[in-house]
């Protein structure tokens, strides 16, 4: 009954700027799919084109074998959970949820509405008005109002943006549970990388109207394809380096005079200038000259310049001999010693935890420029 959603060559040109640029995207049926990116990256425009609220300038949108890009919104088997919910203020909760069924002249809709209100745990709220509900409850009504129509694709536009942090975490799990339960394809637009990682099976990271990378949360985090993804999903240390040779399955890289190796499979480029990337929690600190590299990469002669204790972990800044500061997260397991500012340390990491990116890309792309 559900089928893949396929976007081919989709572009959207607004007066003076191109919001979405020749985008190809396949959303497999029944998956929880996230479009992740900073504001203005084109993710909401993409969602609105799938919903039919925006007309693509070029390209086609297909749902299984059906071309839907020419259809008016009310003809599409697609429903939307709007940002800020867009609940009808003049109707009570029951009527809000029943709205789609009544428009499609579904007979005997009352039990269905009751059942759906049960699914979102709002059974006793049918007679209330949207304004009488809390943000989290309104969010669930919006979800019920869309889901009751059993759309082939459910679109969620920043659905949790208006909720406070605790409620957001709770709703993330809730949404994931409901998606698993109903088995409908969810396309979820968000700028919150944690939200996308928690819920989505597949994430497409968007930037400037293009998809930078597509994959499972773990794939994207472990092996980002661009500096933008490396910085937007979590944090990365990017060090300027140069490829100087190959040894077996590894590339040998020169980092300001020191040699480190990176597995070939983790390199986006194989020659010339590169960014050597390494996640902060994958870097270990050791007292200066205390450990020999047992196959791990090492950068010696660093000095701790800043220590922030954040409970679960400690975040260090370590200045390398050429002045660049790397971020290092150490879990506070008690198994390793803590350092203080001014300590001389060595940095080391396993080659399989690093990655190489094209040096032509901006090392600061995607760095916390999100709202």
Q: Which residues bind other proteins (CB under 8 A)?
A: 51-53, 72-74, 78-80, 82-84, 86, 88-90, 99-100, 103-104, 145-146, 149
- Check if the beta carbon of residue 168 is closer than 8 Å to that of residue 161: no
Q: Which residue, 1 or 364, is less far from other proteins as judged by CB?
A: 1
- CA dist 41 and 221 (Å) reads 20
How many other CB atoms are found less than 10 A from the CB of residue 1?
10
Strands of 138-229 (E only): list them: 153-157, 185-190, 202-207, 210-215
Strands of 224-324 (E only): list them: 237-247, 250-255, 258-263, 272-278, 284-287, 297-309, 313-319
Minimum CB–partner distance for residue 53 and other proteins (Å): 5
Minimum CB–partner distance for residue 27 and other proteins (Å): 18
Q: Which residue, 76 or 168, is less far from other proteins as judged by CB?
A: 76
Q: Which residue, 29 or 86, is less far from other proteins as judged by CB?
A: 86
Strands of 32-190 (E only): list them: 32-36, 58-63, 66-67, 78-81, 153-157, 185-190
Pairing between β-strand 58-63 and β-strand 5-14 as defined by DSSP bridges: antiparallel
Minimum CB–partner distance for residue 124 and other proteins (Å): 20
CA distances from 256 to 199, 306, 324, 327 (A): 40, 23, 11, 18
Minimum CB–partner distance for residue 146 and other proteins (Å): 8
Minimum CB–partner distance for residue 150 and other proteins (Å): 12
**In sequence order, what are the beta bridge partners of 254?**
242, 259
Measure CA 115 to chain center. 32
Write the burial class of residue 368 (CB in 10 Å: 0-12 exposed, 13-18 middle, 19+ buried). Answer: exposed
Q: Which structure tokens are listed for 6? A: 């396929």
Minimum CB–partner distance for residue 81 and other proteins (Å): 10
Minimum CB–partner distance for residue 85 and other proteins (Å): 9
- Check if the beta carbon of residue 160 is closer than 8 Å to that of residue 168: yes
Q: Which residue, 117 or 229, is less far from other proteins as judged by CB?
A: 117
Q: Which residue, 131 or 312, is less far from other proteins as judged by CB?
A: 131
Q: Which residue, 100 or 366, is less far from other proteins as judged by CB?
A: 100
Q: Which residue, 129 or 208, is less far from other proteins as judged by CB?
A: 129
- CA dist 62 and 187 (Å) reads 14
Q: Which residue, 6 or 53, is less far from other proteins as judged by CB?
A: 53
How many other CB atoms are found less than 10 A from the CB of residue 24?
12
Minimum CB–partner distance for residue 37 and other proteins (Å): 21
């Amino acid at each position: 009954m559900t089928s893949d959603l396929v976007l081919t060559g989709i572009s959207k040109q607004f007066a003076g700027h191109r919001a979405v640029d020749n985008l190809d995207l396949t959303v497999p049926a029944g998956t929880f799919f996230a479009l992740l990116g900073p504001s203005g990256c084109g993710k909401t425009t993409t969602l609105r084109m799938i919903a039919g609220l925006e007309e693509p300038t070029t390209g086609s949108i297909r749902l299984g074998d059906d071309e839907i890009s020419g259809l008016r919104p009310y003809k599409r088997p697609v429903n939307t959970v709007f940002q800020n919910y867009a609940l009808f203020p003049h109707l009570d909760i029951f009527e809000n949820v029943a709205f789609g069924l009544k428009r499609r002249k579904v007979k005997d809709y009352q039990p269905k509405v009751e059942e759906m209100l049960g699914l979102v745990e709002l059974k006793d709220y049918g007679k209330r008005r949207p304004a009488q509900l809390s943000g989290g409850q309104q969010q669930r009504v919006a979800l019920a109002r869309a889901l009751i129509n059993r759309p082939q694709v459910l679109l969620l536009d920043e659905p949790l943006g208006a909720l406070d942090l605790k409620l957001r975490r709770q709703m993330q799990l809730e949404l994931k549970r409901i998606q698993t339960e109903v088995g409908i394809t969810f396309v979820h637009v968000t700028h919150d990388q944690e939200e996308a990682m928690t819920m989505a099976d597949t994430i497409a990271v968007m930037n400037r109207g293009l998809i930078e990378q597509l994959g499972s949360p773990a794939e994207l985090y472990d092996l980002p394809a661009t500096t933008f993804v490396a910085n937007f999903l979590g944090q990365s240390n990017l060090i300027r380096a140069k490829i100087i040779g190959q040894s077996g399955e590894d590339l040998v890289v020169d980092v300001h005079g020191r040699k480190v190796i990176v597995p070939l499979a983790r390199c986006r480029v194989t020659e010339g200038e590169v960014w050597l990337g390494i996640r902060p929690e994958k870097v270990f600190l050791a007292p200066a000259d205390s450990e020999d590299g047992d196959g791990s990469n090492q950068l010696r002669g660093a000095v701790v310049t800043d220590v922030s204790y954040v409970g679960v972990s400690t975040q260090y800044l370590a200045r390398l001999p050429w002045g660049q500061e790397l971020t290092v997260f150490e879990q506070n397991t008690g198994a390793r010693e803590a350092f203080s500012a001014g300590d001389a340390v060595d940095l080391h990491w396993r080659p399989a935890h690093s990655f190489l990116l094209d040096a032509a890309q901006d090392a600061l792309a995607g760095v916390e420029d999100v709202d």
